[in-house]
Amino acid sequence: MFQLMVFVPLVMAIMVLILSLSLILGKKVKLNREKSSPFECGFDSNSNFRLPFSLRFFLITIIFLIFDVEIVMLIPSVYSLTKSILIYWGGVFLLFIMILLLGLFHEWKQGALNWAL
């Protein structure tokens, strides 16, 4: 009980010291219009709200999500290799990779991967 009575005030004192030092020595940030804006999604949210949304930004987001889901599906499939039949696993894995590669080549031919404006 005595250790708790010593430990709690000590932790509180260290916490107050660290917080006060961070307020005193911390970097002062000057807020501007862009930094204080709640959105960082490719358009200015403080201007006219009826401006059309950039389709290019939307396509880049969708491509990112597709390949993000690909990683989420590939990692567990590698872990399941030891518990499955190798020929069936290889066939499903090859089919999955082929579908992704066909999608990638389709996006490439459509020009969605062309980053230059």
Is 115 among the domain residues? no
* Domain interval for residue 8: 2-110
Residue 89 included in any domain: yes
Q: Which residues, in sequence order, are CB contacts of 38 under 8 Å at separation 6+? A: 45
pLDDT at 47: 60
**pLDDT number for residue 43:** 57
Look at residues 67, 72, 65 and name the one whose alpha carbon lies nearest to residue 99: 67
Per-residue pLDDT for the chain (117 aa), expressed as one digit of tens each? Answer: 778 788 999 999 999 999 999 989 887 777 776 666 666 565 555 566 665 667 777 777 888 888 788 888 888 887 888 888 888 888 988 998 898 888 888 888 887 777 665
What is the predicted pLDDT for the residue at 2?
A: 76
Q: Is residue 32 part of a domain?
A: yes
